[in-house]
Amino acid sequence: MSRQINWPELLAALSIGALGAFMVLKGSELSLGSLKRMGPGYMPVAIGVALIGFSAGLVIESGFAARRPFPFSWRPVLAVSASMLFFAAAARPLGLIPATLGVVVLAAIADAPFRPLRAALAGLVIAALGYLIFVLGLRISLNPFWW
């Protein structure tokens, strides 16, 4: 049985490896510090090494995996993009809670059977958590509502 290389997967793996190598090179220009006192270059180098390792595994796997057709759907792409644009446009004028609720509901449209009640409930929970964490916990000056 002959093996065929899955070229799209191999190119993706090599791209991830190149990003990891770039992070290692740029991060090593900064002070690495030690485990006890990490410098500014420590995390970029650590993440870069992890990406290179992940890439190596993907390169090996790309030689064994058969190429499968990838079903593409515009609905998730458009829904998630619209939700991000909505948050960018609505966070200041509407406030954190309505903007977060809108993001979750718009992003939930990406799922095939859209369930508005479940999306609204999840949005309310996430908005409340965002308020508790960022406004009350971290004391970031975000208006919860427009008033």
* Same-domain pairing of 48 and 79: no
Domain hosting 52: range is 7-62
pTM of the model: 0.58
Note the pLDDT tens digit of each residue in 104-146: 999 999 988 999 999 999 999 999 999 999 999 998 888 889 8
**68 inside domain:** no
Report the 10 Å Cβ neighbour count for 121: 12
Residue 146 lies in a domain: no
Assigned domain for 79 exists:
yes
